[in-house]
Amino acid sequence: MKLIGSYTSPYVRKISVMLLEKGITFEFVNDVPWEAATHVPDFNPLGKVPALVTAQGEVFYDSPVVAGYVELLGAAPAFLPADPMEALRVRRLESLADGVTDAAVAILLESRRPAEKQDEHWVLRQRNAVNRGLDALEKHAAQGEWLGGEQLTLADIAVGCCIGYLNFRRLAPNWCVNRPALVRLAERLFARESFARTEPPQP
C-alpha cells in the first residue's frame, strides 16, 4: 500500500495518523503537487493529495474517501462507530474540521499572491469561516473527552490535523483563546505517537 502526498498536507496527515494508529504497514511517497515534476496527477486527475494506492493497484482519493477505505480494511481500532447514524455524525465533524482546514489553505494561497492582487474581502470571509468552524468544534469538544463519544474517532483525528495545520502555518495564532475544550483535545492528540511522527517539518 502506498500513500501519495506531502509531509505538510493536513489531509495527508489525517490518513497517515489513521494508518499508524491501526498498525497498517504502508509506503509514504513524498510528492508535492505544486512542483513541476509532480506525479500526483498520475494518481488523482485533480492533482490533489492524498491518494492511496492499494496492494491491488486501485487508487482512492481524496482524504474522506481514503479514510473510508482505510476503515473498510477492518483493522482495529475502529475510528467510526458501528451504528450508521453515529458514524455519519462523526463524519459530519470530520467534514467540519476539513472545512476549517480548507478555509485556512485558501488564506495561505491568497497571501502568496502579489499584494496588489490579494482580495481582502475573500480573506476575511475565510477567516470568519475558520472562526465559526472552530467555535462549533469547541461546543462539541466540551461535551466529553472525545468528539465521537468514549474513544478516539475520525472526527478527533481530523480536528487534530486541522489545528496542527493552523499552528504550522501560523494562520490563526489566537485559535486557542476562549476554546479550552479544543486546547485539551489538541494536547491529548499531539501527545500520541501517531501525531508526533507525522508532525510537519518546520520551513
Residue 19 sits in which domain range?
2-73
Q: Tell me which of 41, 73, 105 is where a domain ends.
A: 73
Report pLDDT for 202.
Answer: 81
On whether both 104 and 151 belong to a single domain, the answer is yes
Place of cell 498520475: 42
Do 49 and 97 lie in a common domain? no
For the residues 190-194, what does the mean pLDDT come to? 99
At 6 the pLDDT is: 97
Q: Which of 73, 102, 130 is the last residue of a domain?
A: 73
Q: Which of 23, 40, 73 is the last residue of a domain?
A: 73
Q: Which of 61, 99, 64 is nearest to 80 (CA)?
A: 64
- Per the structure, the count of domains in the chain is 2
Which of 109, 100, 105, 155 shows the shortest CA–CA distance to 128? 100
Q: What pTM was estimated for this model as a whole? A: 0.97
Give the model confidence (pLDDT) of 67-94 as tens digits: 999 999 999 999 999 999 999 999 999 9
pLDDT value at residue 66: 99
